Structures are given as C-alpha cells and as structure tokens.
Amino acid sequence: MAEPPLSPAATGVAVAGAVVLVVGCVLTSGSDDGESMASASPAGLTVDNTELTTWYSSTQGMRGSIVSTIAAARGFLDAQDGASLQPQCTQLAAQTKAALRLPAGPDAEAQAMFTSGVESYAAAAATCGQLFNGTQRPIEELQSELRTALSAGDASWGALATRTGLPAAVPLASAEQSPGTSPADSS
C-alpha cells in the first residue's frame, strides 16, 4: 500500500531540514589541511595582513620620531637635566597630538594598541610638563609617574609590534625595565 502524500507544511519542514543538514555537513567538513570552514573567520571580519602591515609601516615615521624624543627625554630625566628635558616634553606633547590624527588602522585591536601607546606617551608629556609649571607635587613622584607612563606606552607599542609581526619602534632597554625604574636601576 502506498503512503499518503505529505501536506505542504510537512514538505516545507522536510526541505528546510534537508537544507540545514547539507549546510551543517558543508560547514563541518574539513579542507585538505584538516581545517573546517566553521572554524574560519567569517568573510569581511578578518583583516588582510597586507593591510595591517601597510598601515603599521605608514606609522613608522611618527613612531620613530616619538621613540627618539622619548629616548632623549629618558636620558635627560636620568641625568636630572631639567633644562634639556623640558623641550623634549613639549615636543612629545606635539608629536602625540599629531599621532592621534593619523588614519585609523584596519584592525580594531591593533588600532587600540597604537592609541593606548600614544595616550600613555601624551600622559607622560603632561606629567613631564608638571615638573616645570609649579605643580605642588614632589619631584620624585612626578618623575616616577613620568617613567610609568613611558613604560606603559612602550608596552602598548611592543604589543602592537607583536600583533603585526613587525619590529617595534620601542627601545629594548625601556621595554625591559620595570615601571618607575631607570635603565641604571635595572642592572
């Protein structure tokens, strides 16, 4: 005896179930490398490494200038040479403002690392300025805060370099030292 025909609703459910089954099989079937399509990032949500590399490279000039200013500032800070430190603070403040105006990167996480570094360096410049504007805080406290902000910027930019797989513009001596210490203290 023949089976009775399915109702249109039952036929629709059966077709939908078959489509779900086929899509599920396609998504979970592996590629030649053993990687499933389900584990791959959805199209449009990944960042082309070339785009990230190009953007990171485009910031090299600004990052290099900032790092040079920071290296000089650290040297003058360690030497307790306020007359030479003050112009470096002013220059760093101007450089960080310019860096924040650079085009955004194609990767939100990398951009956040870049911005975090710039903001830390801007905070260092502001703290450095307080050494010379009559702020009623102990010099040692301001110097420690300055070093901590510089180290935080170094850490952000070091993480950015790791994310991009390209060299950092952060001097190794500053990236290796603890916040609040000078290179002489870390030996």
Q: Can you read off the two tokens belonging to residue 46? A: 């990944």
Chain segment 135-175, per-residue pLDDT in tens: 889 999 999 999 999 999 999 999 999 999 988 875 544 44
Give the position of tokens 């990236």: 175
Domain boundaries, the chain: 49-176
**Residue 170, pLDDT score:** 55
Per DSSP, the three-state class of 4 is: coil
Full-model pTM: 0.67
Question: Would you say 151 and 174 are in contact if contact means Cβ atoms under 8 Å apart?
Answer: yes
Chain segment 103-141, per-residue pLDDT in tens: 999 999 999 999 999 999 999 999 999 999 888 899 999
- Does pLDDT of 23 surpass 70? no
Which of 187, 154, 181 lies closest to 77 in space, CA to CA?
181
Mean pLDDT across the chain: 75
Q: Give exposure, 16-55, as e/b (b: 16+ Cβ within 10 Å).
A: eeeeeeeeeeeeeeeeeeeeeeeeeeeeeeeeeeeebeeb
Residue 63 backbone phi and psi in degrees, to 5: -60, -40
- How many residues does the structure list for the chain? 187
